[in-house]
Amino acid sequence: MFVLKLVFISLAISSALGSVARQRSSSCGVGEFPCSDRVCVAAGRVCDGRRDCSDGADEAVCFTGGTQDELFEDPVLHRLKRQASQCRKDQWQCRDGTCIAFDGKCDGVPDCQDKSDETFALCRKTRCQPNWFRCTYGACVDGTAPCNGKTECADNSDELMPSCRNETNEAHGIFKCSDGTTIPASDHCDGTPNCADGSDETITACAAKTCPSYLFQCAYGACVDQGSDCNGKTDCADGSDESDELCDKMLPPVESTTLPVSSGRCVLPPYPEHGSYRVSGAPRARPGQAFRALALTVVCNSDYVLSGNNLVFCQDGTWSVDSLPKCTRYCKLEASSAVRYDCLVSGNITGKRPCGSQEPVGTVVQPECNTPNYYSTDSRLMRCTESGWDYTAHCYPECGRVTPDGVDLIIDGRRAKRGELPWHAGIYRKNTNPYMQICGGSLISNTVVISAAHCFWNDLTKKQPPSNYAVAIGKLYRPWANQMDVDAQKSDVKDLHIPPRFQGSAANFQEDIAIVILQTAFEYRTYVRPVCIDFEVNFDRRQLQPSKMGKVAGWGLTSENGVASQVLQVVELPYVSIEECINTAPPGFREYITSDKICAGYTNGTALCKGDSGGGLAFPEPERGIDRYYLRGIVSTAPNNENACNAHTLTTFTQITKHEMFIKQFLQ
């Protein structure tokens, strides 16, 4: 009779849970039970004899109807049901038995030591909010994650999308493999490698893929037939449709054979709030169990820090501490060259102290921008609360400001003062030793320089490899390694981006603009600052008025048939209307004045020349009592004559506002 009673209870629980699985709220994730008040608790806590929902719904369902097959429709849920969770109701149990915060799973960051909280099998059915980004394996991260230079998805899919490389995987029904061969676009990300190198079935190729609801999405993004999961046949190139976890073939974690003893004077206390602990040699030990002696390690949930030693010992009822160390919420302060954080001290002693990288709840911080290279428009204090900082300070780089009282192309120009145009960069070709300066550029962020596309172009071999070039800024002297350039910073080129329509002289140098991505970020200093950039049309028109003067710098030829200047030259050039530019240009050059060009200059012998290409034409605007220079054009082309440089002509510049979207995608 006793045996029959146990069987009845088991079947009742299975039936009840099956019914729950059918009615599971979409607001709860895989492996979670929805309480009546919409709170989610771990599935392993249903029918365990304890009320985890405030209304006891997790226990009330234990004797309702249903079938066991319905309960196990999701293999991950099945696995979780078989494991009786020993975590608190606000925690989720990792595969290794440890506990993490409930909201720590499928958030892009592995919180479990075995990373079981960020797996494809667990996260693939997660529903993300509309303003969030969905990682390829299913996790939900902040909507700003894609292509921001930081890995926020556990599989790095937020940084592997083709758009992060300014590429398109498919064009005109063709997919280009990494080895240069092509396949039909329909064979791209279909689960079967069709490229000889397999590059059509990788997360790099498929990260941006979205599958229709009637298809199954592989862990790396490919789309295969619905029902491919756990059908005994591998349909995904990475085998994710037949993974052990997805198909409920996972073996239980290997645990120590040491079992908790049933007697002893060392009784395990409750888990600390916002944390848990592990008992050495007894991974299955739980609060309330007794030992003769033990050693435990306290761990805190994500965003909590331990106050005290994480190791606690007990021998015959004598503990090494009076109570377990507490897990305290903290706020992170990222080190930055832009801002300094001072923590305010209150109580008997008032004042300031340098802040650490982690500060507890209640800390008040006074942020200070590192002048003169950064500024802020807000002077509020920051307070660490339970939900994080109530305000985050923003320090903006001082753009477009010339350096006052500096130290003492361009034909008839004058020597630049040190720091006069602190955004001017030199583009160097690396095929000589030392490197040879070939063009100029303008710093628009600490990792991005804007220049002319023709500086990186060959009409026969087209766009040149980024590895051929290096960039230097803060230089007054042209040679790459001049020892008098004490403020110079240098970097190799990591990547180059040129508009697809640019085809050099074949297309009249239309869209002559290049975005240069630096391998090493530059640090803003007194003589290294970005130029301001603004795409507002009316502001652009206000600055580009006939006879208004803009500045440009370069190391170009110093006379019509002269040599390149060894010291940076600066010239002020007046803006010239497009009508006057076309009328004064030689007939053979007018076709080069394309729709994205503006003109500036004189016809009296002051001009830009070979070596000045790519430099920025910037115009001043008074703001808060100072002049800021805004980039309006990039040195592009000028008419030729019998001399090496035509000093009696206007110069065309690629207009920045005509390429707003192209530029902005690299300024995130």
CATH of the domain at 464: 2.40.10.10
CB atoms within 10 A of CB 499: 18
> 453 and 352 in one domain?
no
> 324 and 338 in one domain?
no
Domain contains 244: no
Domain contains 234: no
Per-residue confidence (pLDDT) for residue 131, from 0 to 100: 85
Domain contains 544: yes
Per-residue confidence (pLDDT) for residue 638, from 0 to 100: 59
240, two tokens:
């994710």
Of 529, 435, 418, 430, nearest in space to 475 by CA: 418
> 557 and 503 in one domain?
yes
> Rounded to an integer, what distance in angstroms lies between the CA atom of residue 475 and that of residue 422?
9
Per-residue confidence (pLDDT) for residue 47, from 0 to 100: 60
**What is the rounded average pLDDT of the residues 118-123?**
92
Domain contains 187: no
CATH of the domain at 73: 4.10.400.10
> 561 and 613 in one domain?
yes
pLDDT bucket at 590, cuts 50 / 70 / 90: confident
Last residue of a domain, one of 329, 354, 372: 329
To the nearest whole number, what is the mean pLDDT of the chain?
A: 80
> b or e along 586-624 (b: 16 or more beta carbons within 10 Å of the residue's beta carbon)?
eeebeebbbebbbbbbbeeebbbbebbbbbbbbbbbeee
> 516 and 375 in one domain?
no
pLDDT bucket at 555, cuts 50 / 70 / 90: confident
> 485 and 424 in one domain?
yes
CB atoms within 10 A of CB 424: 27
Q: Is pLDDT at 236 greater than 70 in this prediction? A: yes
Last residue of a domain, one of 397, 426, 441: 397
> 530 and 620 in one domain?
yes
Per-residue confidence (pLDDT) for residue 644, from 0 to 100: 40
Query: For the ranges 210-214, 454-458, 535-539, which has the lowest average pLDDT?
Result: 210-214
Q: Do the beta carbons of residue 293 and residue 267 sit within 8 Å? A: no
> 465 and 386 in one domain?
no
Q: Is pLDDT at 649 greater than 80 in this prediction? A: no
Helix (H, G, I), strand (E, B) or coil at 537: helix
**What is the rounded average pLDDT of the residues 443-470?**
93
Domain contains 347: yes
> 457 and 343 in one domain?
no
pLDDT bucket at 329, cuts 50 / 70 / 90: confident
Max Cα-Cα span within the chain: 112
Per-residue confidence (pLDDT) for residue 407, from 0 to 100: 33
Q: Is pLDDT at 583 greater than 50 in this prediction? A: yes
Last residue of a domain, one of 89, 110, 127: 89
Structurally, how many domains does the chain consist of? Answer: 4
User: CA 406 from chain center: how many Å?
Assistant: 37
Choice between 445 and 247, residue whose per-residue pLDDT is larger: 445
Of 661, 530, 667, nearest in space to 596 by CA: 661
User: CA 82 from chain center: how many Å?
Assistant: 38
Model confidence over 623-638: pLDDT tens digits?
Answer: 877 889 999 999 987 5
Model confidence over 2-18: pLDDT tens digits?
Answer: 333 333 333 333 333 34
> 607 and 564 in one domain?
yes
Task: Indicate left, alpha or beta for 485 from its phi (over 0: left) and psi (-120 to 50: alpha).
Answer: beta
Q: Is pLDDT at 557 greater than 70 in this prediction? A: no
User: CA 277 from chain center: how many Å?
Assistant: 33
Choice between 49 and 75, residue whose per-residue pLDDT is larger: 49
CATH of the domain at 313: 2.10.70.10
Domain contains 389: yes
Model confidence over 346-401: pLDDT tens digits?
Answer: 766 678 889 988 888 889 999 999 888 888 888 889 999 887 888 888 888 888 88
pLDDT bucket at 639, cuts 50 / 70 / 90: low
User: Taking the CA of residue 557 as centre, how many other CA atoms within 13 Å lie in the half-sphere pointing to its CB?
Assistant: 16
> 584 and 642 in one domain?
yes
Q: What is the pTM of this model?
A: 0.54
> 539 and 638 in one domain?
yes
> b or e along 93-130 (b: 16 or more beta carbons within 10 Å of the residue's beta carbon)?
bbbebbbbbbebbbbbbbbbeeebbbbbbbbbebeeee
Helix (H, G, I), strand (E, B) or coil at 12: helix
Domain contains 237: no
> Rounded to an integer, what distance in angstroms lies between the CA atom of residue 245 and that of residue 137?
14
pLDDT bucket at 64, cuts 50 / 70 / 90: very low
Which residue segment(s) compose the domain that 282 sits in? 266-329
CATH of the domain at 393: 2.10.70
Per-residue confidence (pLDDT) for residue 78, from 0 to 100: 38
Per-residue confidence (pLDDT) for residue 587, from 0 to 100: 83
Per-residue confidence (pLDDT) for residue 262, from 0 to 100: 54
Give the helix ranges, DSSP H, for 112-183: 120-123, 157-160
Domain contains 185: no
Model confidence over 559-577: pLDDT tens digits?
Answer: 444 566 788 888 888 999 9
> Rounded to an integer, what distance in angstroms lies between the CA atom of residue 564 and that of residue 557?
4
182, two tokens:
């092509």
Model confidence over 138-190: pLDDT tens digits?
Answer: 999 998 888 888 889 999 999 888 888 777 777 777 888 887 788 888 889 99
